[in-house]
Structure 1
Amino acid sequence: MTPRDTGTDDDRVRVRANPRGTRPRTKNRPAHADAVGAMVLAVDRGRYQLLTDDGTLVVGMKARELGRGARGAVVVGDRVGVVGDVSGRPGTLARIVRVAERTSVLRRSAEDDEAAVERVIVANADQLLIVTALADPEPRPRMVDRCLVAAYDAGMEPVLCLTKADLADPAPFLARYAPLHVPALTTALADGQVRGLDAVRERLAGRTSVLIGHSGVGKSTLVNALVPAAGRATGDVNVVTGRGRHTSSSAVALALPDGGWVIDTPGVRSFGLSHVDADSLLRAFPDLAAVAADCPRGCTHAADAPDCALDEWVADGRAGPAGTARLESFRRLLAARTGTDA
């Protein structure tokens, strides 16, 4: 074989006539027309529990072509296309080759001062049930506020779910959120049974709902009452710190007996929102957004914002008591985006 001229006089340099790896890579990817539709039920160390459209439980892994990091993330609630062995037999492994466009995305930031570090928690859910105990542990309104912001940003309907109503009157807590017109559910324990489940079931029926809340608020107890076969671990509240221990380690989607899905998430102690801007939150308040259209460019709509049209709206009496209360609630949520957890 005659060596190819490489432009050097050194006889020791030899180049293969047909070097390996010279074929140009193509940007075209397989269409996977035979991919089976499925929903992601759980994620565990790179393995995905999937329910195919024909009702088969399958274990899958993410195809390399989906990419790495946040861009290629596959989360609970995602609708995906799966190829390979979709029989569901023990030891088999399918491949997730595409992710359908999401109808909603619940996200959280790692820290409030790291806007670029955010993570998708759940996709394609209709509503967010913010579970908080009325006592033992004491409710943390600022955490509830932050969850409300996350729901509005995600395009999900928020619902307050107050547990342990047998220990405290829910009325004072609910009064704080009355101007926001957020639906509310209450449950109580009596003789070891959860009371108030009928209203909860009615609210969840036929929908995909995410449950989020502090550890120890009774979230897992509620899930077990709604889905008896779930077997979610429950834990007591620490008598010293007033906080519960984490009993759910990862998000999981569970089918409700009467139709619909409930997605249980791990107990949270903080919820970063640095990815949410003021205009994103304002869109959840169409009455205020219409007034804010007259704000100067770049207005933050905060209480100290100069020449904010919302202040003029209140000052001249157009807002009325209800509008004033709505604005106060909006600004409280606006401040909650960067506030510390409480």
Structure 2
Amino acid sequence: MGVAAHRERVLRRREYDESDVRVRPGRGSRPRTKDRPAHRDAEEGMVVSVDRGRWGVALAGDPDRIVTAMRARELGRTPIVVGDSVGVVGDLSGRPDTLARIVRVEERSTVLRRTADDTDPFERVVVANAEQLLIVVALADPPPRTGLVERALVAAYAGGLRPMLGLTKSDLADSDEFAAHFADLDIPVLLVGQGDDLAELTDRLSGRVTALIGHSGVGKSTLVNRLVPDADRATGEVSGVGKGRHTSTQSLALYLPGGGWVVDTPGIRSFGLAHIGPDDVVAAFADLSEAVENCPRGCTHLGPPADPECAFDSLEGKSLRRATAVRELLTALASNDSW
């Protein structure tokens, strides 16, 4: 039988379709998929440190089960910060020189963000999923500035964190005058200097994730070392507000002896808020958020002469006092002064 006759006989025996033809794609033309592995066996953990492309992860939030992990390739450049809840696979033994992989970053419940200044469009997430923000301020040496506190409060309200003030060096100056600036916001104000009893503070921190921020030199690292005796955070003299040697250079989550975590952040030079608008702040207060529904379109809530019909001006009693305090925050937000 000839070749042609044999081929005709085979074709009669079987019908072909496109699945019978295997086409090998050329280099660079292979079809890609956006589907990512499910990693259903990934173990949940909390990011507690970040250092040059490596993340420390406390598995199940257990401070005794910390592994070092890299970001999985399929996550691309997904940002991962301290406080993030992540899924981890690979070597989870935590032994030296082992490396796990972060394969999933869960949706964040809160975010503490800042920009370098008010003209910088690039926002940086400082801490994720913190429930509280403790703003550490020295009452003297360096002298306190309301600007940083106001801006930190704005970031806390916009990001969903409950703010607190921690005042250090109360032996050098009276705290009442400074605390009075924020009385109408109902913010807890605690004395947390070296000679102060920390019982109330530790009670508020217990079982929660709390971020700590403050200018360099205000005693934040000293406070952290008191809260977590084995933290061994560096402390030192700083020549002035926002100048000199910063005693902490990386954010780090530290487990509290009574449960919960504190996230010590580096001493900051400025707190830009380019990503936040007035309504982001007002939304944190139920009574004010309801009132501003009656504001004209585009109202900045700063009051006359900029906003002569702002609904804040129709409030009374405690709500009016809180609106006045919030206006001070909004003034700080509009000032373009990142201090």
TM range (shorter): 0.7 to 0.9
CA shift in 2, pair 1:19/1:128, >3 Å: same
CA distance in 2, matches of 1:203, 1:113: 35
1:309 matched to 2:311: yes
Q: Which amino acid aligns with 2:52?
A: R
CA contact (8 A) 1:274 1:338 kept: no
CA distance in 1, matches of 2:281, 2:201: 27
Once structures 1 and 2 are overlaid, which stretch shifts more, 288-297 or 266-275?
288-297
2:111 paired residue number: 105
The percent identity for this pair of structures is: 56
1:136 paired residue number: 141
CA contact (8 A) 1:137 1:242 kept: no
CA shift in 2, pair 1:188/1:24, >3 Å: closer
- 1:275-294 correspondence runs (5 A): 275-294=275-294
Q: Which amino acid aligns with 1:197?
A: L
1:163 matched to 2:168: yes
Number of residues paired by the alignment?
A: 312
Structure with max Cα Rg: 2
CA distance in 1, matches of 2:34, 2:72: 15
1:319 paired residue number: 316
TM-score between both structures, scaled by the size of structure 1: 0.87
CA shift in 2, pair 1:155/1:18, >3 Å: closer
1:94 matched to 2:103: no
Once structures 1 and 2 are overlaid, which stretch shifts more, 19-28 or 264-273?
19-28
1:271 paired residue number: 271
1:180 matched to 2:189: no
1:338 matched to 2:319: no
Question: How well do the aligned residues superpose, as a CA RMSD in angstroms?
Answer: 1.8
TM-score between both structures, scaled by the size of structure 2: 0.88
Q: CA offset at residue 243 of structure 1?
A: 5.2
CA distance in 2, matches of 1:176, 1:20: 66
CA distance in 2, matches of 1:236, 1:74: 31
Q: Helix, strand or coil for the counterpart of 1:195?
A: coil
1:80 matched to 2:82: no
CA contact (8 A) 1:137 1:243 kept: no
- 1:20-99 correspondence runs (5 A): 20-53=27-60, 55-68=64-77, 72-99=78-105
Structure 2 segments unaligned to the other structure (5+ residues): 1-22
Q: CA offset at residue 242 of structure 1?
A: 8.6
Q: Helix, strand or coil for the counterpart of 1:323?
A: helix
Q: Which amino acid aligns with 2:58?
A: L
Once structures 1 and 2 are overlaid, which stretch shifts more, 154-163 or 286-295?
286-295
2:260 paired residue number: 260
CA contact (8 A) 2:117 2:338 kept: no
CA distance in 1, matches of 2:25, 2:201: 68
CA contact (8 A) 1:137 1:237 kept: no
Q: CA offset at residue 327 of structure 1?
A: 2.0
CA distance in 2, matches of 1:242, 1:292: 36
**121, 127, 140: which one pairs with 1:122?**
127
Structure 1 segments unaligned to the other structure (5+ residues): 1-15
Q: CA offset at residue 241 of structure 1?
A: 6.6
CA distance in 2, matches of 1:276, 1:260: 29
Deviations 1:106-164 (A, max 9, x none): 111222123x3101111111100000001111001011000000100110100000011
